[in-house]
Amino acid sequence: MVVVYPGSFDPVTNGHLDIIERCSKKFEKVIVAVLNNPSKKPMFTVEERVELLRAVTKGYENVEVDSFSGLLVEYVKKKNVSFIIKGLRAVSDFEYEMQMAMMNRALDNSVETLFLMTNSKYSFLSSSLVKEVAKLNGDISDIVPKEVERAILNKIKGV
């Protein structure tokens, strides 16, 4: 079975990698799909996020990194996939993600959303929090891969 794991991944965190690794062990192929959302002001461009994800997932032979814009159900249909993976950290994630899953089903009833609970050691972790801590000179070395930490610090320094 092939699944799509969508997100903004701005930046990818160890929580995201936990979901990717677990999916890579359970599914034939995992497509990590970076959302290009023009209404947001990301730290990294879509291309940078794709490259960072490729760098940190290179050890997984069955993981492909791609990007998309527009409706997720359209992207999933184009990829000929029926399953979306969404990671959940807390009940608040569930409420939002359930609403999105129901909308996706309303748009295309052949698409299913599978929810995975994050590892409890990452339950507090969000990309926004990582960026905020980094901008305030906090240590992010335990919550993002080394390549991502370097990229974030370079962005903050303007390198």
* Binding annotation for ATP: 8-9, 16, 87-89, 97, 122-128
Annotated binding-site residues read 8-9, 16, 40, 72, 86-89, 97, 122-128
Identify the active-site residue in 77, 79, 89, 105.
89
In this structure, how many other beta carbons lie within 10 angstroms of the beta carbon of residue 142?
8
Q: Is 89 an active-site residue?
A: yes
Q: Of the residues 25, 40, 41, 157, which is catalytic?
A: 40
Buried b (16+ CB within 10 A) or exposed e, 39-57: eeebbbebebbbebbeebb
| Catalytic pick among 24, 49, 67, 127 | 127
Q: How far apart are CA 88 and CA 39, in angstroms?
A: 23
Q: Are strands 29-35 and 2-7 parallel, antiparallel or unpaired?
A: parallel
3, two tokens: 């699944």
Q: Would you call 82 a catalytic residue per the annotation?
A: no
Instruction: Point out the annotated binding site for substrate.
Output: 8, 40, 72, 86
Provide the annotated active-site residues: 16, 40, 89, 127
